[in-house]
Structure 1
């Protein structure tokens, strides 16, 4: 649920856990992306995992219209008002196109802190949820003070290549705690270095509420198969964590 905010604070947003972000970047678009999105829609129901898609801007309307379970987030947004701004991405236009939220501060599209704060506030004004990238523990703390809806904790050296090492896995709970000490309502996704179902299982088992993938899906021989493998791994790891917690009570 996403509601408009007249006060300029971030939009009220309810995101079920566990969740998973599919980041097409510019690897897939148009009809083929819609096919994958419809597949993801079915996976949401099958495994009870919320899936977020971050498509190209031009694909937002068709994905929003032709799917019912996935959440559609834009890949970027500018903190501009209606008026001048050739080439800029207007918050109101994204909302009108059917976007549920917006990805901000990705390592390929960094924003200065003051611009990031403005973008989060503008998104809230029009009812867009915010998913903001952070690459270090200190960065996560700084961004948490801006109160986005979701923080993506991604070590940049693992994005698009490499496997998550033991140190990266052990940092998950530390990052979660640092964020939730500031704002316990923020959802936390731990990404980068996710190339198969086992990677997904390991990250969720280590304490992540969600994870996601780009190259692991879109550079694979069968994106449909690998996506289901990953979503199934989210569900299995989450359920195993819940059973472990119940035994400790």
Structure 2
């Protein structure tokens, strides 16, 4: 199956377990509106139970789950079947996030199933060494965030961003790099893209903001602004 093409710079809205149901749908609808308005690729992560509903209600988002399993059709009680995700409208999955790590053997097996089903893989690493190791598996996107910064509002420093960008690209030039640790302000968004990353995004910086929809819009508009500036060079 053919995977959806990704265009850089892109943005990832990752509500994790902060939002579900109607609240997640409301944020997804806003993200969908912005994706259409600015012709921008936006990954939007969902609770598995919300995937079908949000996929049906939106047209432009890359509907993304926060984990899937390497299960095949048949026995497998309690695991997440890739074919079921595709049927629900899912186009991408995170794997090996610090809050849901998987072993290397398991990661390889899941990525194989994702490839078979045309599901984009966003693989996570928490160090430069791990980023290089996982990049050898050639995921579609790599997230390089130090575990200790996740959810803190403290962004990775520019040096770390540049080093991880280069580390991934040196091993797998076709893999996109997402820098998203601690992204909470418009300036954080700009720094991440200007570091050489292909995309950025946020969780608590968006969903815990006083005005989540407004915050999301400002972040998206900053990505668009950086994109426009790069085209002028």
- Note the alpha carbon deviations across 1:192-220, whole angstroms, 9 max, x for none: 11112121112112222111111011111
CA contact (8 A) 1:205 1:238 kept: no
- Aligned partner of residue 54 in structure 2, secondary structure: helix
CA distance in 2, matches of 1:234, 1:107: 25
The answer as to 2:229 corresponding to 1:236 is no
Deviation at 1:89, TM superposition (A): 0.7
CA distance in 1, matches of 2:3, 2:63: 16
Aligned residue pair count: 233
Match of 1:46 among 37, 40, 44: 37
CA contact (8 A) 1:205 1:241 kept: no
CA contact (8 A) 2:144 2:177 kept: yes
TM-score by length of 2: 0.95
Deviation at 1:240, TM superposition (A): 2.7
The answer as to 2:192 corresponding to 1:203 is yes
Provide the aligned C-alpha RMSD in A. 1.4
- Note the alpha carbon deviations across 1:81-113, whole angstroms, 9 max, x for none: 112222111111111111001111110100001
TM-score by length of 1: 0.89
Deviation at 1:126, TM superposition (A): 1.3
- Note the alpha carbon deviations across 1:39-87, whole angstroms, 9 max, x for none: 1111112233211011100110011111111100111111111122221
Alignment of 1:184-203 (within 5 A): 184-203=173-192
Question: Partner of 1:93 in structure 2?
Answer: 84
CA distance in 2, matches of 1:179, 1:153: 9
Match of 1:27 among 10, 18, 22: 18
CA contact (8 A) 2:153 2:205 kept: no
Question: Partner of 2:28 in structure 1?
Answer: 37
CA distance in 2, matches of 1:43, 1:156: 29
Match of 1:175 among 164, 176, 185: 164
Question: Partner of 1:226 in structure 2?
Answer: 215
- Aligned partner of residue 174 in structure 2, secondary structure: coil
Unmatched segments (≥5 aa) in structure 2: none
Alignment of 1:122-201 (within 5 A): 122-164=113-155, 168-201=157-190
